[in-house]
Chains A and B, each alone.
Chain A
């Protein structure tokens, strides 16, 4: 039996809009190990949320998985494993409904769109518990209060009956986290789960996730803009730019030996708490128009190290020794040069 939980190969998801085709996810490869944490980072609009929603088959109706596979190694019991290609499942079918919210659950980026304003927080969490377990209503409610308490909601006995709009931004986000954890998932996809949280609450939530991860061997796919959080919790990191993974590797390598110019620029633009306050480094230029993405290397209009060939040649994957990969012509050239020198 493998340690690999999910393998994504060459996943492409395109949106067919009136204004044209948006190639939101354009050939993504990812591996998620059982019980480990993969952090997915990248610029706003690069396709992180779209890619992860595909794991649950909840792509927006105008979007289509046009190619690729999402292989899920589903452990049925301790000595039997089945393999399912989630990309092939019917979004309304029985199989994905069994998986969704139970084996794979997701904390969505926008707490207000995934928590209904019409129902109390408790009812929404209990609904998920009742759907996937044999607990009675009373037991489900107890579990719900216990979960709200674990994620640090004060007075869970009272707030379980509150409507989402009467909670602060961070409390709503914690209610979402409680809901996602309610069925001990094998994979938790957390899309910016801590952006609305203060650092002390965030530290507690990250501890909670780590503990659940240890106890239940839960894998975590964590999407975040906060590189500090990545430094805290990631085992491996994948950096995405315009629908493609441009660099991936273990967390230490990505922070201390990044190869791709985009990863390097990203790490430079974090404000550091230091004595001098200088103007922040930014990545020049704007995110390109999704309908007119640049040819060649998609990063070339903004890359400070771009070479003439970058506007026409699409970089392919370069593999360094230790599972560290990147897509950049700088290294392809080096390897061809080195290769030439060798031969």
Chain B
């Protein structure tokens, strides 16, 4: 049964509800930690632990944060490769009705597997080496009987051309292609169903700079052509700044800051965001001695046993007593700039000087 939900406002306050595409509310995914012969559950890795953010139609939203903070987990919940253990993923269909993807099971998910697609991190391992490019790109159409063989061929040919691959090479196997070409194949595979939204999980990280620039330009062109919405997961903040309209920052399974892309760089309000921005690699060796770069000290939080209060407090240089006991809520400072820190208003954080 499809779970029809009335269009409702985000859990985040002060959000303009126009044009919402996805509203993720208090999303949770706990992985059981098992041990011993009877696989007894010893505890849970809280990979996603109360994640709330939203994505508007046609937007590119960036998801950033420390390795292991749960970005891939969130992306996989949205495409429903994982089943969340709590929370909601409210999807706004093209006709304006909404559905909670978190609650759907099995065949109920089928229509949304076409609407929301995933591009994987690694162009080398995500393509089946025993399938031809044609088979890889058309697989989802065949499995879901979405097109006749003749239509399928036309669509694959048109799409391969669009992503800059020669259709003559359609019968070749992935090993015959370079990293950049393979990433184009992955993109074609994700776009073949005419999706509305694409989750790009480190989609350009394995590519060298010049090919990465080509793929980023391509993703932007495709967005304009097909009115696509992107959730863009990446470690590379220069890429994130280049391609995203808004940015969501996560720390140990929680969202700590959400802001417009430029706003986040020039006016960060969370101490973790400050540390993240100050670690962006320099672009010229002459800046090596630059002062004021923050190194995060202290033990990296364990998602199976997170600290009390604000999860960031053991590593935060601004932490006070209150931070050890009281969890800061994600609140709207102004104009949809959200932050989860008790002292955002008082702190003078270092920003990035944009030229």
User: Which A residues are within 8 Å of any B CB, using their own CB?
Assistant: 42-45, 110, 112, 152-155, 166-171, 174, 192, 195-204, 207, 225-232, 234, 251-252, 255-256, 265-266, 269-275, 277, 279-283, 286-287
Contacts and interface: CB of A to CB of B under 8 A. Distances in A.
A282 B213 contact: yes
B72 A169 contact: yes
The 10 closest A-B pairs by CB, nearest first: A228-B281, A170-B67, A280-B213, A199-B279, A168-B68, A283-B210, A271-B242, A225-B208, A44-B179, A154-B300
A256 B213 contact: no
B109 to A, nearest CB: 24
B202 A44 contact: no
A272 B241 CA distance: 9
B67 A274 contact: no
Contact of B239 (A166, A167, A202, A271): A271
Q: Chain B at the A interface: mostly helix, strand, loop or mixed?
A: loop
A198 B213 contact: no
A15 to B, nearest CB: 12
Interface residues of B, number: 62
A305 B241 CA distance: 31
Nearest to B35: A161
A227 B213 CA distance: 13
Contacts of B181: 286
Contact of A266 (B180, B209, B295): B209
A226 B239 CA distance: 12
Interface in B291-345: 293, 295-296, 299-305
A204 B66 CA distance: 12
Given A169-B67, A199-B279, A273-B237, A45 B179 contact: yes
Contacts of A195: 205-206
B180 A44 contact: yes
Contact of A273 (B206, B280, B301): B280
A152 B126 CA distance: 28
B66 A200 contact: yes
Contacts of A283: 210
Given A203-B295, A286-B178, 7 more contacts: A154-B302, A166-B31, A168-B68, A198-B65, A203-B293, A274-B355, A275-B355
A200 B66 CA distance: 7
B208 A43 contact: yes
B265 A273 contact: yes
Contacts of A232: 281-282, 285, 288
23 contacts: A42-B208, A43-B208, A43-B210, A44-B179, A110-B125, A155-B305, A166-B31, A168-B67, A197-B67, A198-B67, A200-B276, A201-B66, A204-B295, A225-B208, A227-B209, A231-B282, A232-B282, A256-B286, A271-B239, A272-B283, A273-B241, A273-B280, A286-B178
Contacts of A282: 210, 213-214, 217
Interface string B67-103: 1100010000000000000000000000000000000
Contact of A197 (B235, B241, B355): B235
Contacts of A170: 67-68
Nearest to B301: A154
A12 to B, nearest CB: 21
Contacts of A169: 67, 72, 121, 202
B119 interface: no
Contact of B124 (A42, A110, A199, A230): A110
A199 B280 contact: yes
Given A44-B207, A154-B300, A282-B214, A198 B283 contact: no
A227 B212 CA distance: 13
B171 to A, nearest CB: 15
A266 B287 CA distance: 19
Given A199-B237, A252-B286, A281-B213, A229 B296 contact: no
A282 B216 CA distance: 10
Contact of A287 (B124, B180, B216, B354): B180
Contacts, number: 165
B275 interface: yes
A8 to B, nearest CB: 22
A44 B205 contact: no
Given A112-B125, A171-B67, A228 B280 contact: yes
Contact of B211 (A44, A152, A154, A168): A44
B277 to A, nearest CB: 9
Given A199-B235, A200-B296, A270-B238, A265 B210 contact: yes
B284 interface: yes
Nearest to A237: B285
B237 A201 contact: no
Interface string B113-153: 00000000100110000000000000000000000000000
B352 interface: yes
Interface centre among B124, B280, B285, B296 (most CB of A within 10 A): B285
B198 interface: no
Given A44-B180, A207-B295, A280 B242 contact: yes
B235 A227 contact: no
A227 B72 CA distance: 25
Contacts of B187: none
A250 B262 CA distance: 34
B159 interface: no
A279 B179 CA distance: 22
Nearest to A197: B67
A192 B179 CA distance: 14
B64 interface: yes
B213 A255 contact: no
B276 A255 contact: no
A196 B205 contact: yes
B299 A154 contact: yes
A42 B179 CA distance: 13
A231 B285 contact: yes
Nearest to A227: B209
B280 A270 contact: no
Nearest to A226: B281
B355 A271 contact: no
A271 B66 contact: no
B282 A228 contact: yes
B235 A196 contact: yes
